[in-house]
Amino acid sequence: MSVDLMKLKEILAMVQKPARYLGNEWNACLKDHREAGMRMVFAFPDLYEVGMSNQGLKILYESVNSRPGMLMERVFAPAADMEDLMREKGLPLFALESREPLSRFDVIGFSLQYELSYTNVLNMLDLAGIPLYHHKRSETDPLIIGGGPCSFNPEPLAPFFDLFVIGESEEFLPVLLDTMTELRMENPGKKELLARLSGLDGVYVPSLYEPVYDQGLLAGMEKLDPRAPGTIRKHYVSDLDCAPYPTAPVVPYIQTVHDRAVVELFRGCGRGCRFCQAGYIFRPVRRRSSENIVSTARELIAGTGYDEISLSSLSSTDYPGLDALICELDNSLSDGRVKCSLPSLRLDSYSVSLADRVHRGRRSSLTFAPEAATERLRKVIKKNISEKDIFTAVADAVEAGWQGFKFYFMVGLPTETVEDVEAIVSLCRRLRQHFKQQAGRALKISVSVSTFVPKAHTPFQWEPQLPLAEVIERQQLLRRGFGKIAGFDFSWHEAGASLLEAVFARGDRTLAPLLERAWQLGCRFDGWSEHFSFDLWQKAFRELEIEPGRYAYRRFNYDDYLPWDHLDCGVDKELLIREHREALAR
């Protein structure tokens, strides 16, 4: 039985953006629950407009709902006004398609994209009336599973989850659900079911492993069941052309963060930037054929009515024959109503010329990510561009008529010095002065600076994060530097939020009580600056006597056991060590 519709209507009349909770969008899939042997809800722990921009959701929605005998619905984190009214009226968290309470599904699958969404995961479980901890749930409670980039170190969340799917899921998730359906016919009980599922490649069942500590430091993982694998290897899709891909995804009623059709050019990245987790966990590089891309684009436009196609990847201009592909797309979508966009550009002339072509004269601003302002530090992080490359790319863009630019940098990178930070201001000032003299007009330059966060399965996984006080000093140094120059828009990422991200990116199961306490204190939407409260998090750290620096500031040795060492991302650890040593030698 679905939730009380009268209560829901009453609540929706009182909240901002009620369309977040309506469902029934164009292309939404509503299946009969009585005919489904396995019912799953995809849970995205952020607002609707963020979750509906996630391509993974759309792919898995297609992958599961295209199979007879199983269904997938959607749920997102309710905004604060909706949460308050749901709790006041006793309305449980429900899936959009059927308005069925989450507690009545067989499986709830959380997409774990960002460490600062973890308190939303707990909040959604609580709103659904489901016990937070795995061991407190009954046989009739749904299985709670997780996937996405953060599942490559899920240990801080491990006590709350039944299992994690490591790697890419579009081909594997239906297999997992089919296996669960078959095993459930034997009525094995949840503990036995999980033990059997652990035999599937890519399935990690945390309750089958016990962390071993030595003098308070994680020293290993002990298997509690002989059927559990010693190492869990990631799943990946070998042929993207043959994998499920949505050509008629759900079209939201309201504007989302990325409100356009998306075609994936390729997965993975061969550039090997040493700070970039996605570049390692999505290896190897796999490309879609141009024929597949063009036919998918045609079907997407027909199935959604969008007027923009985004050609998506980690580095879109690395796709071989991209010029010819864009020409073919232009010819295929020849009415001129549909435009292409490239979300990721390199700092080179080729990228600028492509951007000029796909924008067709609609020039707002170009975005580049040098990450570091000195050539030495760019070599450390393996961002192989020179200062000449930067000036040449901007010169080509200015000549083509672009006047606005956004540059992304980081502070706190390994081996960074104060001089490297000061160089950010110097580089941007010289760019602006040079092109003011050349073009006779000042460029509009926005500079955004984030803080380096060491991530699992990268060459920098052994590196500590820069201490909070030093991060703040470097941010203030940049603020003072840009404050002395007119014409710059400077922004930076909250230093306390970056500290938390590092804590959970490098943490283990001892952090689960901290997550629970922070959630109890009211932490929600920690990735949103208007909701983030570092004071509440500091209170939780103090109450539980947990020192954040123990996780964020620790420099690991190569022979230390890392919290994610039992998870295999497909990249040999010796390669990461070689890359790390080469970086430090710069």
pLDDT digits (tens, 9 = 90+) for 115-150: 999 999 999 999 999 999 999 999 999 999 999 999
More confident residue, 188 or 354: 188
More confident residue, 483 or 361: 483
More confident residue, 215 or 43: 43
Please determine, for residue 215, whether its predicted confidence score (pLDDT) is greater than 60: yes
Please determine, for residue 446, whether its predicted confidence score (pLDDT) is greater than 90: yes
Please determine, for residue 550, whether its predicted confidence score (pLDDT) is greater than 60: yes
The distance between the two most distant Cα atoms of the chain, rounded to a whole number of Å, is 77
User: What's the pLDDT band for 467 if we cut at 50, 70, 90?
Assistant: very high
Give pLDDT, residue 78. Answer: 98
CB 347 within 8 A of CB 368: yes
State the CB neighbour count (10 A cutoff) for residue 532: 19
Q: Identify the three-state secondary structure at position 176.
A: helix
User: What's the pLDDT band for 563 if we cut at 50, 70, 90?
Assistant: very high
Give pLDDT, residue 12. Answer: 96
CB 517 within 8 A of CB 36: no
Give pLDDT, residue 217. Answer: 92
Q: How far apart are CA 583 and CA 459, in angstroms?
A: 9
More confident residue, 441 or 234: 234
**Could you tell me the pTM of the whole model?**
0.96
CB 127 within 8 A of CB 87: yes
Condensed to tens digits (0 to 9), the pLDDT of residues 297-312 reads 999 999 999 988 999 9
Please determine, for residue 400, whether its predicted confidence score (pLDDT) is greater than 60: yes
Q: How far apart are CA 332 and CA 326, in angstroms?
A: 10
Please give the mean pLDDT across all residues of the chain.
94
Radius of gyration from C-alpha coordinates of the chain: 24
CA-to-CA separations, 363 to 309, 366, 395, 488, 540, in angstroms, rounded: 17, 8, 15, 19, 47
Q: How far apart are CA 429 and CA 349, in angstroms?
A: 21
Q: Which stretch of 3-7, 288-292, 379-383 has the lowest confidence by average pLDDT? A: 3-7
Give pLDDT, residue 536. Answer: 98
Interval 104-111 mean pLDDT? 98
Please determine, for residue 530, whether its predicted confidence score (pLDDT) is greater than 70: yes
Condensed to tens digits (0 to 9), the pLDDT of residues 184-205 reads 999 999 999 999 999 999 999 9
- Over the range 487-512, which residues count as b (16 or more CB within 10 Å of their CB) and which as e? ebebebbbbbbbbbbbbbbbbbbbbb
Please determine, for residue 361, whether its predicted confidence score (pLDDT) is greater than 60: no
Condensed to tens digits (0 to 9), the pLDDT of residues 480-495 reads 999 988 778 999 999 9
Q: What tokens appear for 119 in the block? A: 């308190």
CB 62 within 8 A of CB 245: yes
CB 514 within 8 A of CB 541: yes
Please determine, for residue 547, whether its predicted confidence score (pLDDT) is greater than 60: yes
Please determine, for residue 365, whether its predicted confidence score (pLDDT) is greater than 60: yes
Interval 539-557 mean pLDDT? 97
State the CB neighbour count (10 A cutoff) for residue 394: 23
Q: How far apart are CA 548 and CA 484, in angstroms?
A: 35
User: What's the pLDDT band for 398 if we cut at 50, 70, 90?
Assistant: confident
List the domains of the chain with CATH numbers.
5-233 (3.40.50.280), 260-344 (3.30.750.210)
More confident residue, 298 or 1: 298
Q: How do 266-267 and 286-287 pair as beta strands?
A: antiparallel
Please determine, for residue 346, whether its predicted confidence score (pLDDT) is greater than 60: yes
Give pLDDT, residue 363. Answer: 62
User: What's the pLDDT band for 440 if we cut at 50, 70, 90?
Assistant: low
CA-to-CA separations, 24 to 12, 28, 171, in angstroms, rounded: 15, 6, 26
Q: Which stretch of 260-269, 363-372, 537-546 has the lowest confidence by average pLDDT? A: 363-372
Q: How far apart are CA 225 and CA 198, in angstroms?
A: 10
User: What's the pLDDT band for 399 if we cut at 50, 70, 90?
Assistant: confident
